[in-house]
Each structure stands twice: as structure tokens, then as C-alpha cells.
Amino acid sequence: MHEGSWSRHDGRAPKRDGVTAAWPAATVAATSVLQVVLVVVGGPLLVGLMRKVRCRLEGRVGPPIRQPLLDLRKLARRERTRPDQASWVFSLAPLVLVGTTLVIAAVAPLLTTDPAFGWYADLFAVVYLLLLGSVALALGALDTGTAFGGMGASRAMTIGAIAEPALLLAILALSVPAHSSDLPAIVSGSLAHPIWLATPQRLLALVAFVIVIVAESGRLPVDNPSTHLELTMIHEAMILEFAGSDLALVKLGESMRLAVMVALLADLFVPWGIATAPGPAHLAVGLVAIVAKVAVLGVVLAAFEVAVAKLRLFRVPELMAGAFVLAVLAVVSSLVTP
Amino acid sequence: MSSDLLVVAAVLGLLAAAAGAAAPAKLRAGLTVLLTVGACGCGFAAAAEVLRTGHTAVVETTRVMPFSGFSLGLDPLGALFVGVAAVVGACAMIFRLGYGSHGLSSRTASSNLPLFVTTLLLVPAASNVTTFLYLWELMALSSLVLVVTDHRSRAEVQVAGQWYAVMTQLGAAAILIALVLLATRTGSQSFTAMAARAEHISTFVRDGVFLLAFAGFASKAGAVPVHVWLPRAHPEAPGPVSALMSAAMVNLGVYGIVRVGDGLLGGGPAWWWLLVMTVGALSALFGSLHSATSTDLKRLLAYSTTDNVGLMLLGVGASGLFAATGHRALALVALAAALLHVVFHAVFKGSLFLSAGSVQQATGTRDLDSLGGLLRRMPLSAPVFMVGGLAIAALPPLCGFVSEWLLLQAMLHGLPSTNSAIAIAMPIGVGALALTGGLTAATFVKAIGIGLLGQPRTEAAVSAEEVPASMVTGAGVLAALCLVLGVAPFLVIPAVLAAARTATGITVPDPLSRGWNLGLTGVHGELAPGLLAGGLVLAIGLAAGARRLAQAAAVRRTEAWGCGRELQTARMEYTATSFAEPLIRVFDDVLRPAQDLDVSHTAESRYYVESATFHTSLDDGFERRFYQPVASGLRWWGALARRLPNGSVHRYLAFGLVALVVVLVVVA
């Protein structure tokens, strides 16, 4: 790398001017809107699917896959409550949680390698937006002034303090061969050079990424989303005081976060099928591909959840530290392998 | 023009100091604040002019210091630091108007505060060794006087003052030796002449000068392992003083490293910069870990200063390393990222320390475990602290995110590299930065959530009231800057680039893209902070709209759930100690907390507990394992030496004889 001649990665048209030249403006905006709609609807459905798979594997029938959507509709109509001690921070928290995830859904390469607002932000922005959502929820929990809120916030931030860096490093390891922290560039880069996908750093980063997803979305073995036992709950302790439409927003936000992260996982490690060119046909293929990939990953994650038991709280940081070390190794090995 | 402004700034500052000493008590505060803010204004104008035109503002006179000459030469690198000091100084002085506690209104304190601000404005402008050392020492002494303002009422202040005095004087001695060594070898004490001749001196001397200067400046910057004064002195100093120290003075440590390493010595071998990066990474991790586990609000902020200085040093070190290995454009970007972090750190740490001062004035305590519920009682100061806290946690759309983003970009684009130093240093740097980011988020969730939200934990927090408007303004301006600079970083990027160009002498055109977007030219991966903020506002607005549409009735106030128990009291709330407990447990190999559980049983049966006391404390590992052994060794040495003089004249004559013989033997 020399002065003034930093390698500009091929495989992707130059941004903005190039985009508007090749893609009609309406389609451009449509891709981001489509992604957002997909995540808003798909998030709850993914949660429903995972619940269904779990139930089936445990020999139960389980609620229908669309049950989380029905729950959201029900909750949205219910009354909001606010604890005596809470301030505006409590009311703002669910909005920030959902808002950050909506922005990520608009900028991340989910359906297409060129989402309209993709050049707004890169992988660091995505990670820090996720962190902003977590921080908002933790502050909302502390604002209730209860023991549960503090307990949940403390545990979530402890786990997040190690999980977020692991996530950052895992994606960073993938960005080294692409010479860019731009998520679309990484995805289209690995489409152009499938050999990147078979490198050891991909594998290490993949494992780290999966652990982080499990932790960040509060699923087994880190946290059990279906428990309300005081001693073990993390995420549920934080959202105990939310009710009605606030609770609906929190539930929606967390399912969207899960969907976005699983979709990113899918596109970063198995990029095939994502739309690389404009046009409804490509987008349709991209849509089918991402839905199929996320569904398969959801089923695998759910099956994994059935097989494991919840870890003791203080074993969780060890798991996170493991993910962090794997991510560091991924970055280091990305330097050794070309 | 800009040199005149610089003179006016100095004169106004000295007038303010004189006013602080001489003016009657009623006028003292107003007069000193007015004059010092004027000085800061002139300093800022001079700095802006220099940064805009790129011309050095020169002030030289032999009237003040006849033998060496008093010599100022403000170049863009110095101007950046002057500008930062001016903004922080003005805000801290406005804040000081309402700040009633800590005896800041005494004659000594009132005259030292303007003096301290003035030296902060002039140190980066000094352009010869004598002027620099003179101003540097004046800055150290005036800040020392301010740190111990409150020494009569609290014993901790005296201890803090001792630590600060020793560390700052040791640092100053190292800097003095380094600069004098360089001056004698180059035959001139003017910075420009030294820089021109520095490449001709021997490698051995260059290494020595760099190491000494690095050690001295690192102690002022508060980098590990010479940070020990910082978590003691910053919390004990009065509010505006700790803001000035943390947001403006520690920067000058970084300035010194850049000025000597890049400027005077003109860069050096890779190992210098690997050392700087190592110290930076260690400081970042150590600082963030300790601030994550502190329960004292200002101690937490002080450790987070060590953390942020670590990030700046990571950038400075990366820049030097890139320059040493031929990546000139990246060297410029990395230094620009470090300097951008200097600017942004000053802004958010200034607002944090000032609003922590407001909290301390309103409640009389800085122990997080005794606070809580302040957002309702201090509806202006608390949000100011929140903005600063979210900015320091690098959350978009505030300014901390932008500088960390740029730092990550600079380090990322050094990869993959065939140079093994870069290939090893950059991933470790990125890892340290990432881990620091996660810990900082936990730290400030704790500081904001425990300190400002929830229920008040003590009577002091219940009766807290909003502080005077001047204090809110001083801190609020800086908090507003966090948002403005986070959304529109292009307001300071040109200044930062100009400073980095001056420091490194690298003149690559446009290494960073211009306008609303931020990015390295020629590399994918841009950031549009303005649009990101807009998108965020839009998305939150959408969610709020949806909630409003769905909502049937108004929000009902309820009692929080307490497992069926009525009445949630503040005693049931999580405290800062309990919040940080999991983190202490996770990192107990590094932190080594001391814990002591004392249970006494009732007389009837040992199965019933009568009382239980639990004590936990966390001290600084470096202090315990390095400084305390050294200090007790010195004390032992001192006690040993005290046995020598016993009052006997014969013995003293014998000492004289022995000394004479030794001298003769050595000379012969």
C-alpha cells in the first residue's frame, strides 16, 4: 500500500454517483424500504419459527409461527404503564432500541449488496448502533429504580462489554481481505472471490459471530428467554416493567435484532443469492435467498438450543471471552493468509 | 494579527490573575472570569487564524526573560491545542461563576485559576526550550495550588497533592533533561533550529531524548504506569479545575510526545512507536477496567481519562509506525485520528467533569452509591452528563464515535501488511480499542443509570436542586458541542489535518474525504455521520408515531413490581458496587479485589446470624505493587541516612575528610 494508491476493491460499483447512474432513484429507495419491512415482519416470524422448532423437538405442538406477530398486535393495543420513579429515559428506551435496529436494517446488505443507504454506515457503525440499542435498554431498566432492573442491566452490560468487541473483531477479520470496513464491499468481495470463504479466519470469525448472536439476542445457553426466575434472568429482568405498546416495541426490537444479526451472518458467510444488480427479478431472488438462509439458520439455532442447558451466569463471560479470543485469532490469521 | 491576539491573551490572563489576587471579594469572581474568558477568546481567535492560514504566529521579546528570550511561535499543531484549551477554559470559567464550594473564592485560588488557564493557552505556543519549560512549570505549580485548594477540610486532598507534586516534578525533570540534551547536541534552543539539526545527532542520544521525553510527557498525560497521580488529584480538585486538568492539561502530554517525537526529532525507528502503542493499549485497557469498577463518580472519570489518553497514544504510535515503515498517507490519517480524539475527548470529558462538579455541589457527595434520581431533580445538568457519557461510550451520533471510527479505519487499513511490526501491532491495537469500547459502555451505563436515574439513595440525593444557570451553561456548551461535532465533524477535520501535517511534515493532499461524509480517500467504507443521525431521528420518530397510533389511553403511573412486596425502597435498588460486581468477578485475575466478610452469630445458635459486614475494596495494582515498595524503600533509605548526623562535630569533620579524599581520588 503506497501513498495515494490504496487498493480500491473491485466487484462493486463506485458509490453514490455510480449507484444513481445504474439504479433508478425509486428502486434505490425501495431496496432499503423493502429491507426494513422484511426485518420488521421477518423478525417476529423468525422468533415464531424458532419456538415452533423447539416445541416440535421437545415433543410439543407449539403455537403457530405467526404467534409473535399476533402477540405484538395484542400488546400494542394494551395500556402503557410507567413505574413511579421512572423518567423520560424509560419511555425513550424502547424507541431507541427499535430505531437503531431500523437504521441497521436500512443500511446493511441483506437483500442486495447495494442497499440505498448502504454508504451511510459501515460495520463499525452497525456494531455501535447495536450497542446504542443495548445501552438505551439498560438505562431504561435502571430508570425503573428496582432491583430487577439493575440486575438485568448489570448482567447485560457485563456480557455486552465482551460480546460487542468480539462482534467487532469478528467482522473486522472478514474486512481485512476486502480492504474495507464497508459491509456491502465485504459481501460482494467474497462473492467475487469465493476462496475467502474457505479461509481459517472465516471459520474462527464464524464461531465467534455465532456465540455473540446467541448472547446478544439473549438465547440459550446464555440466557433463557422463557424464564422469569429472578436468579437467572438477564434480558427479561430488564424489560420487566414495560407494558402494552412499550413491551410490544421491546419485543419487536429484540426479534428484529435477532433477525438482522442472523441475516448478516448468512450474508457474510454464505453470500450466494444476494442481489448484485438492480431490477425486481434480482431482488426477488435475493428475497427468497435471504428468507431461506435465515430460516435454515433459525432452525439450526433452535435445535442447538434444545440440546444445551443454560450456563451458570458466571460461566457466561468465559464463553464470551472465548468468542473474543477466537475473533482475535481470526484477525491475526487474516494477516497470515493472503 | 494572530501574534497580537496571542499577546493580548497572555496580558488578559495575567491581568485576571492580578485581579484574583487584588480585587475585593465581591468583584473577584466576576472580574477574573470576564478577563479569563476574554483571554480564551483571543487565544481561540489566534489559534483559528493560524489553523486557517497555516502561518506561524511569532512573538519574541527579551524583556521578559533577558538571557534566553521569551519566544512564542504558534504553528498549526500548537494552535489545535490552544484552541481546545481556549474552549475548555472559557466553559470552565463560566461554570466557575456559580461554583460555590471548595474555597475557590480565596485570593490564592482566584489568582491561580486564571494563571493556570493562561499557561494552558501558552504552553503549546512556546517555541524555545526555556520558554517551554518555564510555562510548563508554571502550569504544573498553578494546577498544584488549585488541586490542594480544599486541603484544610479533607486529608485526602493533601495525599493527592503529594502524589501530584511528586509525579509532575519527576516528569518535568525528565522533560528538562531530554530538551536540554537535545538543545546542547543541536547547539540551539529554538525549536525550529533543533528540528532542522536533529537528524545529525547520534542515534543513541536521539533514543535517550525520546525515551526521557516520552516518560515525562506520559506522566502528564496520565498514561500507565505513570498515571497514579491522576485518579487521586482529579477527583480531589474542585470541579472546574478537574475539568481543566482532564480536558486540557493531559492533552499537553500528548502534545509533548507529538512535538518531540514527530516534530523535533522528525520521527524515529519503529520500536519507539511500538513502545508508544504498547503504553497506549495498556493505558486504555487498565483505565477502562478501573473506571468500569469505580464507584466514585470523579475517580471513574479520572480513570476514563487514562483510558482515552491510551487511545490517543495508540493513534500517535500507529502514526509513527506507519511513517517509519513508509506508509505516509496512513501516518497522516492515524495522527489526525489521534488529534481528533484529543479535541473530542476535551469536549466530552469537559462536560462530564463540569456536570459531575454540579452533582457534587448539589448533593455534597460524589459516591455513586449515595446518588440516584437526579434526572428529576436536576433536569438540565443530568442530561448534560448523559450526553457526555454517551459520547465517551462512542455511541452514534455523538462525537466520540467519529474519532474512534477514524482510529479504527487508520489501523484497519494498515492490514494486511508484509511488515511484521504492523501486522502484530495493529490487530492488538484494534482489539484493545474494541474491548475498551465495550467496557466504557458498561462504565457509563453505570454512571448514568445509578447516579442519575432510578430512586434517590440518600437524603442528600433527595434534596438535590438544580445548580445556577452559569454552571449549566458552562457544561451545556460542551455537551452541545458533543452533538454538533458528532454530526458535523467536518467543522474540525481541516484543523486536525493541518495540525497533523505540521507535526509529521507529510503533505499528502486530501487523505480524508471532505464534506459531510467522512472517509479515507480511495477506500470503501465511508461514514455519513449527519445522515446517520438523521436516519436515527427518523427511525425513532417512526417508532414513536407507531406507538402513539396504537395507544388507546394515557400512560398510567404504577408501582414497580417487587415480587408482590409493596413499596419499593431505594435500599432494594442496585448500587454502583453491585452493578460492577460481575465485571470485578470476570476480571478478578487482573484487578485482585480485596474482600472481607465478617459474620457474627447469635449467642443461642450459630445458625442464626446476628450481624454481617462485608467490605470490598479495589486499589490500583500499579500503586500497590510498584509505587508503594519504592516509596517504602525510599523511606527506609531516608531513615538510614538520618542516623548519620548525630550532632557530633567530629563526625561531620570526618565526613568532610572522607568526601575530600574521595574527590581527590576521583579527580586524580
* Residue numbers in A near B532 (CB within 8 A): 103, 120-121, 125
Confidence tier at B508 by pLDDT (50, 70, 90) = confident
**What is the residue-wise DSSP string for B120-144?**
HHHGGGB-BHHHHHHHHHHHHHHHH
Residue A144 has pLDDT above 60, yes or no: yes
**Confidence (pLDDT) at B326:** 84
pLDDT in tens, B603-634: 888 788 888 888 878 888 888 888 889 989 99
Spatial contact of A32 and A116, defined as CB atoms under 8 Å apart:
yes
Q: Give the pLDDT mean for B492-521.
A: 83
Q: Is residue A226 part of a domain?
A: yes
Confidence tier at B638 by pLDDT (50, 70, 90) = very high
Name which of B390, B408, B561 is nearest A124 (Cβ-Cβ).
Answer: B408
Name which of A3, A132, A165 is nearest B396 (Cβ-Cβ).
Answer: A132
Q: Is residue A235 part of a domain?
A: yes
* Residue numbers in B near A158 (CB within 8 A): 442, 582-583, 586
Confidence tier at A23 by pLDDT (50, 70, 90) = low
**Confidence (pLDDT) at A9:** 37
Closest residue in A to B587 (Cα) is: A317
Report the share of chain B in percent with pLDDT over 90.
Answer: 53
**Confidence (pLDDT) at B389:** 95
Q: Is residue A14 part of a domain?
A: no
Name which of B508, B557, B558 is nearest A3 (Cβ-Cβ).
Answer: B508
Of the listed ranges A313-322, B165-174, B215-224, the one predicted with least confidence: A313-322
* Residue numbers in B near A189 (CB within 8 A): none
Name which of B393, B442, B448 is nearest A158 (Cβ-Cβ).
Answer: B442
Spatial contact of B393 and B444, defined as CB atoms under 8 Å apart:
yes
Domain region containing A30: 25-336
**Confidence (pLDDT) at B102:** 60
| Preferred mutation among B417, B453, B568 to probe A, highest tally of A CBs within 10 A | B453
Residue A3 has pLDDT above 60, yes or no: no
**Alpha-carbon distance B158 to nearest alpha carbon in chain A (angstroms):** 35
* Burial (CB count <10 Å: 0-12, 13-18, 19+), residue B435: buried
Radius of gyration of chain B from its Cα atoms, rounded to whole angstroms: 26
Confidence tier at B551 by pLDDT (50, 70, 90) = confident
Residue B423 has pLDDT above 70, yes or no: yes
Q: Give the pLDDT mean for B483-502.
A: 91
**Confidence (pLDDT) at A25:** 62
Confidence tier at B133 by pLDDT (50, 70, 90) = very high
Total tally of structural domains belonging to chain A: 1
* Residue numbers in B near A144 (CB within 8 A): 454, 560
CA B541, B542, B543: angle at the middle one, nearest 5?
Answer: 90
Closest residue in A to B551 (Cα) is: A77
Spatial contact of A148 and A237, defined as CB atoms under 8 Å apart:
yes
Report the share of chain A in percent with pLDDT over 70.
Answer: 89
Task: Give me the amino acid identity at B298.
Answer: K
| Preferred mutation among A2, A69, A157 to probe B, highest tally of B CBs within 10 A | A157
**Confidence (pLDDT) at B267:** 83
- Cα–Cα dist B220/B236, whole Å: 17
Residue A325 has pLDDT above 80, yes or no: yes
Asked if B526's CB is within 8 angstroms of A95's CB, the reply is no
**Confidence (pLDDT) at B643:** 85
**Alpha-carbon distance A69 to nearest alpha carbon in chain B (angstroms):** 14
Name which of A83, A164, A180 is nearest B524 (Cβ-Cβ).
Answer: A180
Of the listed ranges B32-46, B295-309, B494-508, the one predicted with least confidence: B494-508
Residue A5 has pLDDT above 50, yes or no: no
**Confidence (pLDDT) at A184:** 82
Q: What nine digits make up the cell of A63?
A: 403455537
* Residue numbers in A near B292 (CB within 8 A): 161
Beta-sheet strands, E only, within chain A = 81-83
Report the share of chain A in percent with pLDDT over 90.
Answer: 33
pTM comes to: 0.92
- Cα–Cα dist B275/A53, whole Å: 53
Q: Is residue A142 part of a domain?
A: yes
* Residue numbers in B near A335 (CB within 8 A): 415-417, 423, 427
**Confidence (pLDDT) at B495:** 92
- Cα–Cα dist A12/A5, whole Å: 18
* 166-185 of A, contacting B, C-beta below 8 A: 168-169, 172, 175-182, 185
Bigger pLDDT: B558 vs B537: B537
Q: Is residue A4 part of a domain?
A: no
Number of cross-chain residue pairs from A and B with Cβ atoms under 8 Å apart: 307
- Cα–Cα dist A56/B23, whole Å: 83
**Confidence (pLDDT) at B530:** 85
Residue A193 has pLDDT above 90, yes or no: no
Closest by CA to B6, choosing from B125, B142, B139, is B125
* B410 touches A: beta carbon within 8 Å: no
Q: Is residue A17 part of a domain?
A: no
CB atoms within 10 A of CB B606: 10
* A155 touches B: beta carbon within 8 Å: yes
Average pLDDT, chain B: 89
Tell me, what's the ipTM?
0.90
* Residue numbers in A near B437 (CB within 8 A): 128, 131, 164-165, 168
**Confidence (pLDDT) at A317:** 83
* Residue numbers in A near B525 (CB within 8 A): 122, 175, 180-182, 185
* Residue numbers in A near B457 (CB within 8 A): none
Confidence tier at B124 by pLDDT (50, 70, 90) = very high
Three-state secondary structure string covering B244-298: HHHHHHHHHHHHHHHHHHHHHCCCCCHHHHHHHHHHHHHHHHHHHHHHHHCCEHH
**Confidence (pLDDT) at A28:** 66
Closest by CA to B188, choosing from B127, B135, B234, B98, is B127
Asked if B441's CB is within 8 angstroms of A131's CB, the reply is yes
Residue B523 has pLDDT above 80, yes or no: no
Q: Give the pLDDT mean for B25-50.
A: 92
Q: Is residue A19 part of a domain?
A: no
Q: Is the peptide bond before B240 cis (omega within 30 degrees of 0)?
A: no
**Confidence (pLDDT) at B532:** 87
* Residue numbers in A near B540 (CB within 8 A): 95-96, 98-99
Radius of gyration of chain A from its Cα atoms, rounded to whole angstroms: 20
**Confidence (pLDDT) at B524:** 60
**Confidence (pLDDT) at B118:** 95
Spatial contact of B549 and A80, defined as CB atoms under 8 Å apart:
no
Q: Please give the backbone phi and psi of residue B202, each rounded to the nearest 5 degrees, phi first.
A: -70, 155
**Alpha-carbon distance A205 to nearest alpha carbon in chain B (angstroms):** 14
Residue A121 has pLDDT above 80, yes or no: no
Asked if A162's CB is within 8 angstroms of B435's CB, the reply is yes
* 71-100 of B, contacting A, C-beta below 8 A: none
Q: Is residue A316 part of a domain?
A: yes
Asked if B449's CB is within 8 angstroms of A131's CB, the reply is no
Confidence tier at A262 by pLDDT (50, 70, 90) = very high
**Confidence (pLDDT) at B144:** 93
Q: Give the pLDDT mean for A226-253.
A: 85
What single-letter DSSP state applies at residue B586? H
Residue B67 has pLDDT above 80, yes or no: no
* A335 touches B: beta carbon within 8 Å: yes
pLDDT in tens, B224-241: 889 899 998 988 888 899
